[in-house]
Amino acid sequence: MTDLAGDNVVDAASPGLLRRIRSRMPLLVICGAGWLALMIFAAISTDLLRPYPVTKMDLSARLAVPGTPGHWLGTDELGRDVLSRLMESIRVSLVIAFGATVLSAVFGTTLGFLAARFRGIVEHLVLTLADFQAALPFMILSLSVLAFFGSSMTLLVLLMSFYGWERYARIARGLAISAGAQGYAAAVVQLGATPARVYLKHILPNVASTIIVSMTLTFPEIILMESGLSFLGLGVQPPDTSLGNMVGFGREYLTRAPWVMLAPAFVIMLTTLSISVVGDWLRDRLDPTVR
């Protein structure tokens, strides 16, 4: 028994691993996962690796063409290094999107569980709120809130964390109700468990995979939403930088220096594309009930 387990470990670490991954993941998924790994690496190591400080201006080298030694992705209108700013932007955008996705999942799942636990008026309230959320385009809602409260990073993350909560709430509520109707949850209630135990120890682990699957759908949407707002100048504010806000500022120099806008635009495209490809693949693996 122990011998067998040992063999497995050795096997997993051997060069066969690559081939094994290949046989289980399509090429596209590998590319997607690779790109995402690169993005995460860039986000984490930006403080160590970026060639210049984000706001360092080099007025002698304004709008330098990509490929210029020292500025491999060129510079912008103030002579700031595009690569350095891009790495910082990746970090900001990913952190916002990740934080917001997690908050939204926690918020939505909690409301869904509350609706399932108390039914009646609580449930009606949650469903009405979900309807309200569906009736108002999120972009419009965010625009009004951001503009009137002024834009700050905290507010932006908080706002983004309302994105998609109603999906989690609906999923969590539906699964919890069906588990409670005659399933394992009813059995545990009957054993004398407190509601907290029923929901946290039994229902939550059972709905987790479905929730994670929804998170892979929400994550790229939040990236798009944040970059859209920043593009309009209402999201991340200078001197902070994010992918959307780089595209927004790069737009002014579209004719003379398209690279300032193209670099972050491609990063956004490839990142959201990779997440959906990898997410689709994960979805098929993790949860055969959600297609």
Partner 1 sequence: MTALLEARDLVRVYEISRGLWKKPTLVRAVDRVSLSLSAGETLGVVGESGSGKSTLGRMLLGIDPATEGQVVFDGQPMPAMGTTEWRRLRAQMQLVFQDPLAALDRRLSIAEQIGEPLVIHGLATKSEVKERVAELMSAVGLRSDQAGRYPHELSGGQRQRVIIARALATEPRLLVCDEPVSALDVSIQAQVVNLLRDLQEKHGIAMVFISHDLKVVRNITDRVAVMYLGRIVEEASSDVIFTHPQHPYTRALVSSVPVPGRKLEARIILQGEPPNPARRPAGCAFHPRCPVVLPSCRTSAPKLGAVGTGHIAACHLIAQSDAPLVA
Partner 2 sequence: MSYVYRSGHMLSFFLSRMLRAAITILLVMTFAFCVLRLSGDPAQILLGPDAPQDAIEAFRERWGLNDPIVVQYWAYLKSLWSLDFGVSMRDKSPALQLVLERIPTTLQLTIPALILKVGIGIPAGVYAALHRQSIADRGVIMMAVFGFTIPSFVVGLLLVLIFSVTLGWLPSGGQDTWMHGILPTLTMSIGGIGILARFSRSAMIEVLGQPYIRTASAKGMSWRDVVWKHALPNASVPIVTIVGFMIGSLIAGAVVVETIFSWPGVGRLLVVSVSNRDLAVVQCLLLVIAGTMVLANLAVDIMYGWLDPRLRSKSAAH
Determine if 143 is a binding residue for partner 2 (CB under 8 A). Answer: yes
Q: Which among partner 1, partner 2, none contacts residue 132 (Cβ within 5 to 8 A by kind)?
A: partner 2
Q: Which is nearer to partner 2, 83 or 267 (CB)?
A: 267
| In contact, 86 and 246? CB cutoff 8 Å | yes
Instruction: Choose, by CB under 8 A, the member of 43, 116, 257, 268 that binds partner 2.
Output: 268
Of the ranges 35-43, 56-64, 87-95, 270-278, which one interacts with partner 2 (CB under 8 A)?
A: 270-278
Q: Which of 212, 214, 220 is nearest to 275 (CA)?
A: 220
Name the residue nearer to partner 2 (CB basis): 74 or 248.
Answer: 248
Residue 258 binds which entry of partner 2, partner 1, none, CB below 5-8 Å type-dependent: partner 2
Q: Between residues 149 and 201, which has the closer beta carbon with respect to partner 2? A: 149
- 224 interacts with partner 2 by CB under 8 A: yes
- From the CB of 208, what's the least distance to partner 1, in Å? 9
Using CB distances below 5 to 8 A depending on partner kind, what does residue 269 bind out of partner 2, partner 1, none? partner 2
Distance in angstroms (rounded) separating the CA atoms of residues 177 and 209: 17
Which of partner 2, partner 1, none binds 224 (CB below 5-8 Å, type-dependent)? partner 2
Q: What is the largest CA-CA distance in the chain?
A: 76
The only residue of 72, 118, 149, 184 in contact with partner 1, by rule CB under 8 A: 184
Q: Tell me whether residue 55 or residue 128 sits nearer to partner 2 (CB atom).
A: 128
Cα atoms in the 13 Å half-sphere on the side-chain side of 183: 12
- In the complex, the smallest distance separating the C-beta of residue 185 from partner 1, rounded to whole angstroms, is 8
**Torsion-angle region of 164 (φ positive above 0: left; ψ -120 to 50: alpha; else: beta):** left
In a 13 Å sphere around the CA of 66, the CA atoms on its Cβ side amount to 11
Between 125 and 189, name the residue whose CB sits nearer to partner 1: 189
CA dist., res. 64 & res. 134, Å (int): 45
- What is the number of alpha carbons within 13 Å of residue 173 lying toward its C-beta? 23
Nearest to 236 by CA among 223, 102, 265, 244: 244
The reply on whether position 182 binds partner 1 by CB under 8 A is yes
Query: Cα separation of 110 and 213, whole Å?
Result: 17
Tokens of 132: 């309200």
> What is the residue-wise DSSP string for 67-87?
TBTTBTT-B-TT--BHHHHHH
Q: Which residues contact 277 (CB under 8 A, 6 or more apart)?
A: 28, 29, 31, 32
Contact positions with partner 1 (CB under 8 A) in 189-228: 189-195, 197, 202, 205-206
Give the residue with the Cβ less far from partner 2, 137 or 238: 137
What burial class does residue 84 get, using C-beta atoms within 10 Å of its C-beta: 0-12 exposed, 13-18 middle, 19+ buried?
A: buried
Site residues, partner 2 (CB under 8 A): 127-129, 131-132, 134-137, 139-141, 143-150, 170, 174, 220, 224, 227-228, 231-234, 244, 247-248, 251, 254-255, 258, 261-262, 265, 268-269, 272-273, 276-277
Site residues, partner 1 (CB under 8 A): 182-184, 186-195, 197, 202, 205-206
